[in-house]
């Protein structure tokens, strides 16, 4: 008899939001979803900084506008202490400054609080799998903010057309499987692009690769 394949463990999710109603709503959503487990709910950054390292989750849903320390600084400190934890900003803000400050602090994704429940659960799975979920509108802001022709001495100039197309797909927030489907290539080819692009751009993460590519 063949062994039964092991099921993936649930994704542990923590929530940091000062709005009690939103916190309760997000908590209920996570509890209802079989693939997830609620790892903690926190009303402010200071409590999150003390408690999250004691029971590290896989993913943290982080609000920006918190009382006292803001969410961006909370992410910066937690990411330093817990580099394996992924941070997904969930906020009402659409401004470019909040977006870029969050990414620089170590966030891997940025969605609006009005995001549909099903899309939010998909985004949590995406960020846990190495993706950088954003709305198309916010992804375009990233492109518009950084895009400029690369200089001839830039490592970006040495990328192949295929590597550039791959990075374009990354910049638009697609997961690796989606990129494989959109580029009509295998997932192994996508992984090959990841290795070569990281090596050429001297980066170690998806967010670093996208930012360096868009800066030129």
* pLDDT tens column, 182-200: 899 998 898 888 888 888 8
Q: Which is higher by pLDDT, 130 or 3?
A: 130
Residue 147: what pLDDT? 59
- Helix then strand count (H, E) for the chain reads 10, 5
Flag whether the pTM goes above 0.75: no
What is the arithmetic mean of pLDDT over 157-168?
86
Tell me which of 67, 102, 133 is where a domain ends.
133
- Domains contained in the chain, number: 2
Distance CA 21, CA 78 (A): 24
Q: What is the dihedral of CA 65, 100, 127, 16, to 10 degrees?
A: -10
Residue 4: what pLDDT? 47
Same domain, 126 and 172: no
**Residue 138 in domain:** no
3-state secondary structure of 162: helix
CATH of the domain at 210: 1.10.10.10
Residue 146: pLDDT band with limits 50, 70, 90: low
Residue 34: what pLDDT? 93
**Residue 141 in domain:** no
Q: Which is higher by pLDDT, 139 or 119?
A: 119
Which phi and psi (to 5°) does residue 97 adopt? -60, -45
Rounded to 5°, angle at Cα 214 from 208 and 216: 100
Given phi > 0 = left and psi -120 to 50 = alpha, else beta, which region is 202?
left
Least confident window among 40-44, 61-65, 132-136, 153-157: 153-157
Residue 85 lies in domain: 11-133
Token pair recorded at residue 49: 């900084």
Q: Which is higher by pLDDT, 153 or 7?
A: 7
Residues 6+ apart with CB under 8 A from 202: 155
Distance CA 207, CA 108 (A): 7
**Residue 2 in domain:** no
Q: Which is higher by pLDDT, 15 or 163?
A: 15
CATH of the domain at 63: 3.40.50.2300
Same domain, 95 and 198: no
**Residue 60 in domain:** yes
Distance CA 193, CA 38 (A): 34
Rounded to 5°, angle at Cα 41 from 37 and 42: 155
pLDDT, averaged across the chain: 85
Residue 5: what pLDDT? 46
Residue 144: what pLDDT? 65
CA distances from 210 to 14, 69, 134, 213, 215 (A): 26, 28, 13, 5, 9
38-96 pLDDT, tens digit each: 999 999 999 999 999 999 999 999 999 899 999 999 999 999 999 999 999 998 877 67
Question: Which residues is 62 bridged to in the sheet?
Answer: 16, 89
């Amino acid at each position: 008899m063949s062994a039964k394949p092991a099921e993936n463990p649930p994704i542990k999710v923590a929530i940091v939001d000062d709005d009690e109603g939103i916190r309760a709503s997000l908590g209920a959503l996570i509890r209802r979803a079989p693939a997830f487990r609620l790892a903690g709910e926190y009303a402010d950054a200071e409590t999150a900084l003390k408690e999250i390292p004691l029971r590290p989750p896989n993913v943290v849903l982080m609000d920006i506008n918190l009382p006292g320390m803001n969410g961006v600084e909370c992410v910066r400190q937690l990411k330093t202490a817990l580099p394996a934890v992924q941070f997904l900003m969930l906020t009402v803000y659409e401004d470019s400054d909040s977006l870029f400050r969050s990414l620089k602090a170590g966030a891997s994704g940025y969605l609006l609080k009005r995001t549909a429940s099903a899309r939010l659960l998909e985004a949590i799975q995406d960020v846990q799998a190495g993706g950088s979920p954003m709305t198309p509108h916010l992804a375009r802001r990233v492109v518009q903010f950084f895009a400029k022709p690369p200089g001839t001495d830039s490592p970006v100039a040495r990328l192949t057309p295929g590597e550039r197309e791959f990075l374009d797909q990354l910049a638009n927030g697609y997961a690796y499987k989606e990129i494989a489907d959109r580029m009509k290539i295998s997932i192994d080819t996508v992984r090959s692009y990841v290795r070569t692009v990281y090596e050429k751009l001297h980066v170690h993460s998806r967010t670093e690769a996208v930012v360096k590519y868009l800066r030129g």
